[in-house]
Structure 1
Amino acid sequence: MPDPSPSARVAIVGAGGIAHAHAGALAELSDRASLVAVADTDRDRAETFARRFSVSGVYTSAEKLLAEERLDLVHICTPPHSHTPLAIAALRAGVPVLVEKPTALSLAELDELAAVQQATGTPVLTVFQHRFGPAAVRLRRLASSGALGRPLTAVCETLWYRTDAYFAVPWRGRWEVEGGGPTMGHGIHQFDLLLSVLGPWSEVTAVAGRLARPTDTEDVSMALARFQNGAMASVVNSLLAPRETSRLRFDFEHATVELEHLYGYREKHWRFTPAPGHEHLADLWRSDDADDVESGHLLQIAAVLDALRHGTEPAVSLAEARRTLEFAAATYASAFRRRPVAAGELADDDPFVRAMDGGAVPWPRVKEAA
C-alpha cells in the first residue's frame, strides 16, 4: 500500500456531478491532498473538469490512469454498475479506494471485492458522509456510553422528489445498472446513519412498490426493522414527496434525539429532548459552535486522509458497508417474498445475494436496456 505523504496524491475516476463534490472537498484539504489526475470515458468532460479544478493528469480510462500515476488514494465517482470492477482495478494497482455508494450492486459483488481487498491488503472505503457530522459522532458516543439509556424506537425517512425526467438518464431506474431505486440510491445514506447508531439489525419486514415513476426499480419502499439490542425502527425511502425532507428520530430511555435536514445537516437541524428527571443530559449534548460543520464529503475525506497518513483504519470499512448493503437486500427480499428476512439469511446462492431484485420483481419492465 502507498505510504501517503503529508500531501497525498489523489485521483478521481468519473467526472460527473458527484465528482465535483469530491474535488471541492479536496480543494479545501489542499494541505493534506493534491488532486493530480482525473479519468472519464468522455474526454471533453474530463478536460472541462480538469480545467475547473486545476488537475494536470487527464485520462479516458481508469486503467491508463492507474498505470501511469503514482497515487495514494483514488475516488470512484462513476455510475453504480462500474464501482466494483473499478475498485478491483485500483486494489490490484495497490491504491486505496474511496467508492461512492452503493459500493456494489449486490452482496455477491461486494464479497468479491472483499476477497480482493484481503488478497491485496489494500482498503476499500464507502462514501457514507453523514456518519461524520459532529452531532452524529456525538450521538454515537453518548449512545455507546449508556448515558441515554437503552435505544427503544427509531424513525428513518428519506422523502425526496424526482420527476419522470430524472429517469431519462439511461442508467437510472434499472436494476442491472443502478442496483435499485431509492432504497439503494437515495435513502441508503439515512439508514446507514441509523445503523451506525443502533448497531446490528436482526430482522426486516418490508414492502416496496413502483407507484408513479417510469422506472424498473421501486420508487417507494418501507421497512420495519428489529435490532440485536431490542430496538425497533421504521425506514421509509421515497422519491414521490413534493415537500422533501430527510428525517431521523431516536427514542432512548432517557432522551429523544431528532434530525431533520435534506442533503446535509448542521447543528441547527438537530433537536435533543431529555426525559423528565434527566435534564442534565442536555449539557452532554450541547456543542461548541466551532464544531458546526455541514455533514458532507469534506468531513469524511478529511478523516480518510488522516487515517491513511497515520496508519489507522479509515472509515467506512467494507465490513460496515456490507451491513448497510445487506439491509437494502433484505428490504427487497422481504418485499418481494412477502415475509420477514433475518440478518444473515441471504447467503450462498440465494437470488437476492446475486442481485438486489432477486429475479422476483412483481411489475413489468418499462426501460429498455442500453
Structure 2
Amino acid sequence: MRAAVVGTGAIARGSHLPALARLAEEGRTEVVAAVDIDPAAVHEFCASGGIPHAYTDLDRMLREQRPDLVTVCTPPTLHREQTVAALRAGAWVWCEKPPVPTLADFDAVEAAAGDGSGPYASIVFQHRFGSGSRHVRRLLAERAMGRPLVAHCQTTWYRDAAYYAVPWRGRWDTEGGGPAMGHGIHQMDLLLDLLGPWSEVRAMAGRLVHDVETEDVSTALVRFENGALATVVNSVLSPDEVSRIRIDCEHATVELTHLYGHGNADWRVTPAAHVPDDEAAAWRDFGPDVPSSHLEQLRELVASMQAGQRPRSSGEEARTSLELISALYKSAFTDVTVRRGEIGPGDPFYTALHGGVPGWAPAAAVPGVPTGEEVSA
C-alpha cells in the first residue's frame, strides 16, 4: 500500500508516521510522500522519516504519486476538502479526529466515497481497537454479564491558556467545538462502540474559564436504544486528568480508567456476589495484551483495503459519534431533548455545531453578540 501523509505536525510525527513505519517493516505499507504548506517543515519531515517526495500542493501529490492511502493530519477545518480530494483521486483516507466540523461536511465526504465499492474514508478512533475493547465488546454483545443498565463516560482533562493560544483552537470554524468535539469524542465513540446506538440526549454546557468561542465543559444524559442510561462529562478544566468508562450490567460492572490510551491492565471487571468464580474468571481473561493505538487501527484498515471492504470507524459507524456530539450541542444551547435522526438538512445544527445561537455563535455569525464571556445553558 503506497501511503502519503498530509500535515506534518505533532500527530503525524508522533502517531501516524510511526504506525506506517511499523507496517512498512512488515512489508505492508510504503510511505511515498508527505504534504505540508510549510516547505521547510515538509522537507524536514521527509528527511527524518526517509520519505522520498515532499510537496506543498495536495492535488499535485495526488496526481504524481497516486497513493493508495492518504492519512490526514491537519486541523479539522481542512478535513472535508482534503478527504474529498483524496477520495476522488482514488485513495482511501485515514483522517484524524474530529472528522469534520459538521454533519453536513461528513455527509459531503460520504457522498464523495461513491457507490459503496470504495475507496472509503475512515476516522481515527483508535480507542475502539486493541484487546481490551475487543473483549468487552464481545461480552456486552453476547450479554455475558446480563443487560447493560447504567454507564458513565468521562473525559476530564486540563488545558491552559497557552494551549488555546494556537490560533485555530477554541473556535467553531476551525476546531469545530470544545472538549465535547475535540477531546471527549474518543471516549464517547468508544461508549457507542460498546453499547450500540443511542436514542436521545439532554445536555448542558458552559464556558467557565477560557476566553474562547466554544464551551470548555459539558455534561449530558444519554439514553440508548437498548434501554441503558449514561452520563457523559467532557472538561478541559480538570487538573486531575482522567479518561473513564464504566458500565453497570445485571451481573457485573466493567470499568476502563486511563488517560490517552489503554491496555488490558486498565480494565476492571467486578462481578456481582452471586456470580460463580469460574464465570468471573472468564470475564476477566482479556487474552494477550494489545494496547489501543493508531497502529492497531491502521492494521485493521490496511486489511480492509486489501479485502476491498468498508473499514470500521467509517460511514454510518463513524457518523453516529458526530451525530451524538451535534445533538449534545443542540440540547445544551437550546434547552431541549434531542433525538437521534433529528438533525438533518434545514436544521441549523446540521451546518454549524453552535447552531447560530446567540452567546455561542461567533460574533461574525450573530452581529453585536460578544464572544469570550462566561455562558452556561
- Give the TM-score, by structure 1 length: 0.94
Q: Which residue in the other structure is 2:279 paired with? A: 281
Q: Does 1:28 align with 2:22?
A: yes
Q: Which of 93, 100, 103 matches 1:97?
A: 93
Cα distance in structure 2, aligned partners of 1:315 and 1:347: 23
For structure 2, the residue ranges without an aligned partner over 5 or more in a row are 361-369
Q: Does 1:151 align with 2:148?
A: yes
Q: Does 1:55 align with 2:48?
A: no
**CA shift for structure 1 position 361:** 4.8
Q: Does 1:113 align with 2:109?
A: yes
Cα distance in structure 2, aligned partners of 1:112 and 1:312: 20
Per-residue displacement from partner, 1:224-247 (whole Å, max 9, x unpaired)? 000110000001000000011001
Q: Which residue in the other structure is 2:313 paired with? A: 316
Cα distance in structure 2, aligned partners of 1:311 and 1:124: 13
Per-residue displacement from partner, 1:37-56 (whole Å, max 9, x unpaired)? 10000111111111221111
Q: Which residue in the other structure is 2:187 paired with? A: 190
Query: Which AA in structure 2 matches 1:227?
Result: F
**CA shift for structure 1 position 288:** 6.0
Contact 2:251 2:271 in 1 (8 A): yes
SS at match of 2:223: strand
Q: Which of 215, 218, 238 matches 1:241?
A: 238
Cα distance in structure 1, aligned partners of 2:267 and 2:359: 39
Contact 2:69 2:92 in 1 (8 A): yes
Cα distance in structure 1, aligned partners of 2:357 and 2:272: 45
Per-residue displacement from partner, 1:137-180 (whole Å, max 9, x unpaired)? 11111111121111101000000000011011110000011100
Cα distance in structure 1, aligned partners of 2:286 and 2:127: 19
Q: Which residue in the other structure is 1:181 paired with? A: 178
Cα distance in structure 2, aligned partners of 1:108 and 1:366: 26
Contact 1:161 1:242 in 2 (8 A): yes
Query: Which AA in structure 1 matches 2:123?
Result: T
SS at match of 1:10: strand
Contact 2:207 2:216 in 1 (8 A): yes
Figure out how many residues of one structure are paired with residues of the other and give that number.
Answer: 359
Query: Which AA in structure 1 matches 2:317?
Result: E
Q: Which residue in the other structure is 2:253 paired with? A: 256
Greater shift after overlay, 230-239 or 103-112? 103-112
**CA shift for structure 1 position 312:** 3.0
Per-residue displacement from partner, 1:197-231 (whole Å, max 9, x unpaired)? 11110110000011001211000011100011000
Query: Which AA in structure 2 matches 1:307?
Result: S
Contact 1:84 1:109 in 2 (8 A): yes
Query: Which AA in structure 2 matches 1:23?
Result: L
Q: Which residue in the other structure is 2:303 paired with? A: 306
**Identical aligned pairs, as a percentage?**
50
SS at match of 1:358: coil
Instruction: Supply the RMSD in Å over aligned alpha carbons.
Output: 1.4
Contact 2:118 2:309 in 1 (8 A): no
Q: Which of 19, 34, 38 matches 1:38?
A: 34
Q: Which of 132, 135, 138 matches 2:135?
A: 138
Contact 1:336 1:362 in 2 (8 A): no
Q: Does 1:14 align with 2:7?
A: yes
Q: Which residue in the other structure is 1:365 paired with? A: 371
Contact 1:126 1:318 in 2 (8 A): no
Q: Which residue in the other structure is 2:364 paired with? A: none
For structure 1, the residue ranges without an aligned partner over 5 or more in a row are 1-7
Q: Which residue in the other structure is 2:217 paired with? A: 220
Per-residue displacement from partner, 1:68-124 (whole Å, max 9, x unpaired)? 103111001000000011000001101111111121110111111111112584211
Q: Which residue in the other structure is 1:5 paired with? A: none
SS at match of 1:118: coil
Contact 2:132 2:286 in 1 (8 A): no
Contact 1:274 1:281 in 2 (8 A): no
SS at match of 2:162: helix
Q: Which of 153, 168, 171 matches 1:171?
A: 168
Q: Does 1:72 align with 2:68?
A: yes
Cα distance in structure 1, aligned partners of 2:40 and 2:160: 28
Show structure 1 runs of 4+ deviating over 4 A. none
Contact 2:132 2:291 in 1 (8 A): no
Contact 1:81 1:178 in 2 (8 A): yes
Cα distance in structure 2, aligned partners of 1:117 and 1:312: 13
Query: Which AA in structure 2 matches 1:222?
Result: T
**CA shift for structure 1 position 346:** 1.1
Going from structure 1 to structure 2, the CA distance change for 1:361 and 1:229 (only over 3 Å counts) comes to farther
Cα distance in structure 2, aligned partners of 1:288 and 1:184: 30
SS at match of 1:282: helix
